[in-house]
Structure 1
Amino acid sequence: MKIFLAGATGAIGRTLVPELVARGHDVVGMTRSASKQDLLLNLGAHPVVADALDPEAVMRAVASAEPEVIVHQLTALSGPMSLRDARHPDRSLAATMTNRLRTQATDHLVAAGRAVGARRVVAQSFGAFRYARMGGPVLTEADPLEPDPPAALRAVQAGYQYLETAVTTIDWGAGLALRFGGFYGPETGLSLAPDAVMATAIRKRRLPIIGDGGGVWSHLHIHDAAAATVAAIERGAPGVYNIVDDEPVAVREWLPAVASALDAKPPRRVPRWLGRMAAGEMATVMMTEVRGASNAKAKRELGWQPRYATWRQGLAHGL
């Protein structure tokens, strides 16, 4: 198939392009930076330079490619981030730009897809920390999203919802939104790279366990995110899909294991009231109340299986 991949040089894109090429697909990779054209050529894609926030540029790029499938992996989160950015995504320039990519750029890609007669749109969304804080510890796509997220997450969550609605309601093709879990592995915030923001925070003991550490997190290796995207390109009905590993886990169990994998000291533990004062409501909720996600639908309908079935395997072999 002819595939137009927006965000082709991001963490997922760099793994996704070679996998698609190996499966016989013809990939046109869009990048905003002309300097990254050689990277895309080396990965096996045909590069095209365009600003995703320029509707006319996107239309020209998509029209030239004439794709059957449009894949939306656009973010502005690939560069260095500070710990302040991680605590306050609503104030982060990178997150603000990414929100524009989830809203405005989504509209541009969908409009271009309609114009050229594409048959399918697959877009990157996010599932971790979004489900309502009620019911069991592990929820499905049929369960409600959190109606009242912490203030620092409201704009971010609204951006995800906008993208999912815009993609899954197209009436001229199949639109799939993939709700990824928290990424780890190469080119992510949790890797062995010296500037990986979460790994750095854990090594410096700046990411404590707040309260009982009962918040349940769902994780995903970056290579498994790419593999799930391949599956969604090739099959699956319109809708949202949780793309996470097989073992959602409480922070109190996961965080010490990550510290050990990074040869760091165990995380500190702080009471909930102190965590709220020091790190804010968002971090406190994430540490104590959030729910994990089930991947049963993606396995059943996309035929996808994570290479790293649990975060335990990923920590041992995938960082």
Structure 2
Amino acid sequence: MIPARDERLVIFGCGYVGSAIARQAIARGLRVTALTRNPATAESLQAGGVEPVVADLAGSAWHPQIAGGARYVLNAVSAGGGGIDGYRHSYVDGMRSILAWARARGGIGTLVYTSSTSVYPQGDGVVVDESASSEGVGERGELLLESERLLSPDTGGTPTPPGPVVPPREYMRCFVLRLAGIYGPGRHQLLDQVRTGIVAGRGGHRLNLIHLEDICAAIWSAFDAPPEIGSDVFNVADDRPATKSDVAGWLAQRLGVGAPTFTGLPAGTRRSVTPDRVISNAKIKRVLGWQPRFPDYRAGYENILSQRRE
């Protein structure tokens, strides 16, 4: 049985996902403290009723500024640039700092960590669930796995080499949510590429997507999970992945533009084209009862397009 904790949410990393959760938590009547490295973000959060702390997560200067004992803790930090060193700093060193803070401040309740399906190297159209091997994953994916392993060697994740074991009782339980490709209002790179007629990547590869609203619902389903559900790892993706050419073609039709050309090259700062695979969401649906409001790209992008027309 998880003991009662202070009805408070602490968020580390208030970017796209963290800021959305902060708004929802305030609407739920929770006290919210959020750590961000961006002063402008801190001002916006404060205006919305959040207590902001501006600091580098990987450091320890912020530890005395945030009380322990929170019932909910979300680590939604992003790499924030800086290449591989930025990954290690944000994900691995940041997680170490959170655990040191929790230990020193008397522990916390449920911790949710938003990781990524990039920890899976599989391609060739295979279905990938949480038991899939991580062997052969790239350096960035390995750093994400290292940050996951810091939480617990027993979270039910992929069979990876043993990592550092953290002394118990920093948290009562933790959930690692491995997010598929994030999109939603204000974050729709593919939509913008289709407008230009040039789309990164390969059209025959399947896209595994997850809408912001469904990410938030998955986070709350973890926070609100019954006490008998212990620490675990879950994929968070929609129900029906489709090829990039199908998605881009549908978007082009909806936008009234011509079918785009695919570059065959990675998008943005990615080092390689995302592998062709199907990310299974069966486990989180079965264990936590989560169901996506936007089960496929049509529902999700239609929501975005309708908001842009308003």
**TM-score, normalisation: structure 2:** 0.79
Alpha carbons 2:200, 2:262 under 8 Å: kept: yes
Q: Residue 278 of structure 1: CA displacement?
A: 12
Aligned-residue offset at 1:243: 0.8
- Change beyond 3 A, Cα 1:299–1:41: same
Q: Secondary structure at the match of 2:9?
A: strand
Aligned partners of 1:305, 1:66: CA distance in 2, in Å? 30
Aligned to 1:86: none
| Counterpart Cα distance in 2 of 1:208 and 1:75 | 22
Q: Give per-residue Cα distances to partners, 1:89-118, cap 9 Å, x unaligned.
A: xxx636752442111111101221222211
Cα deviation code 1:266-314 (max 9, x no counterpart): 12257xxxx479999822xx3xx52121111112222222221211101
Q: 2:101 aligns with which of 108, 112, 115?
A: 112
Secondary structure, aligned partner of 2:112: strand
The Cα of 1:40 is off from its aligned counterpart by 1.3
1:203 matched to 2:195 = yes
In structure 1, list runs of 5 or more residues that go unmatched: 78-91, 191-196
Letter paired with 2:180:
G
Q: Quick one: structure 1 residues 126 and 260, their matched pair in 2 at CA, closer, same or farther if it must change by over 3 Å?
A: farther
Aligned ranges 1:164-313 → 2 under 5 Å: 164-169=148-153, 171-172=168-169, 173-188=172-187, 190=188, 197-207=189-199, 210=202, 213-235=203-225, 236-268=229-261, 275=264, 282-283=272-273, 286=274, 289-313=275-299
The number of aligned residues is: 279
Q: Distance in 2 between matches of 1:47 and 1:58?
A: 11
- How far the C-alpha of 1:42 sits from its partner, in A, is 3.1
Superposition CA RMSD, Å: 2.9
The percentage of counterpart residues that share the same residue type is 24
SS in 1 for 2:99: helix
Measure the CA separation in 2 of the matches of 1:260 and 1:166.
46
* 1:25 equivalent among 22, 30, 44: 30
**Amino acid aligned to 2:247:** W
Q: Are 1:48 and 2:53 matched, yes or no?
A: yes
CA distance in 1, matches of 2:289, 2:109: 20
TM-aligned CA deviation for residue 48 of structure 1: 2.0
Q: Which has the larger share of helix?
A: 1
2: distance between equivalents of 1:130 and 1:176? 18
Give the Å deviation of 1:209: 6.0
Question: Per the alignment, do residues 113 and 129 of structure 1 end up closer, same or farther by CA in structure 2, a change over 3 Å counting?
Answer: closer
**How much has 1:34 moved relative to structure 2?**
3.4
Query: Secondary structure of the residue that 2:198 maps to in structure 1?
Result: coil
Which ranges in structure 2 are unaligned for 5 or more consecutive residues?
1-6, 154-165, 306-310
Query: Which residue pairs with 1:34 in the alignment?
Result: 39
The secondary structure found in structure 2 opposite 1:119 is strand
